Amino acid sequence: MDFEISKAIEVLSTTPATLRSLLENLSEAWVGPVIQNPESKIQNGDWAPYDIIGHLIHGEETDWIPRARIILAQSDDRTFVPFDRFAQFENSKGKSLTQLLDEFARLRAENLDVLRSWNVTEDQLHLEGMHPELGRVTLSQLLSTWVVHDLNHIRQIVTVMAKRYGIEVGVWKEYLSILK
């Protein structure tokens, strides 16, 4: 599937509502801190849904649009600021899950307004920036990654939720690839 900004925006614009639907009416037992349990394959480092929304917020603030600006500016130094994958553990403190979902929805809508306002051309999609670890990357790769990153974290959320029933499903576990 070739990259087109309009198709990327289709997914990016729906993620906040999808996460809200998935999470907003669930009890703490589903969305709260992950409790380690080797038998259900929940790992100590697994992020709870709460942590993941915080991570997505930090991406809106420091990753996608700031990096796109660096690429579009084409100044001498096109190296991105490294992304802090653990910032949410500090930034989300004291906030409810609903507050985080609201904040994510607001930031995402603002960022998509910025992206649309740029009217990025086909030529600009091939402009490059410098990723601190991966090296040269293009604007279309950055924007594609923004989309896949959303999908990746929806996947992570449903996976960590499913693992909470890893024992309860009994012998059906064999049929459920999400528990493997």
Where do contacts with its own copies occur on this chain (CB under 8 A)? Answer: 1-3, 7, 10-11, 13-14, 17-18, 20-22, 25-27, 29-30, 131, 134-135, 137-138, 140-142, 144-145, 147-149, 151-152, 154-155, 158-159, 161-162, 164-165, 168-172, 174-179
Q: Considering the complex, state which of residue 72 and residue 161 has its C-beta at the smaller distance from its own copies.
A: 161
- Of 166, 47, 63, 71, nearest to 108 by C-alpha is 63
Q: Considering the complex, state which of residue 2 and residue 113 has its C-beta at the smaller distance from its own copies.
A: 2
Q: What are phi and psi of 31, to 5 degrees?
A: -110, -10
CB of 47 to its own copies, least distance (A): 12
Q: Considering the complex, state which of residue 27 and residue 93 has its C-beta at the smaller distance from its own copies.
A: 27
Copy the structure tokens of residue 171. 């012998």
β-bridge partners, 135: 131
CB atoms within 10 A of CB 104: 22
Report helix, strand or coil for 17.
helix
CB of 60 to its own copies, least distance (A): 17
CB of 116 to its own copies, least distance (A): 16
Q: Considering the complex, state which of residue 69 and residue 85 has its C-beta at the smaller distance from its own copies.
A: 85
Length of the chain: 180
- Rounded Cα–Cα distance for residues 49 and 180 (Å): 19
Q: Considering the complex, state which of residue 111 and residue 141 has its C-beta at the smaller distance from its own copies.
A: 141
- Rounded Cα–Cα distance for residues 91 and 160 (Å): 22
CB of 50 to its own copies, least distance (A): 16
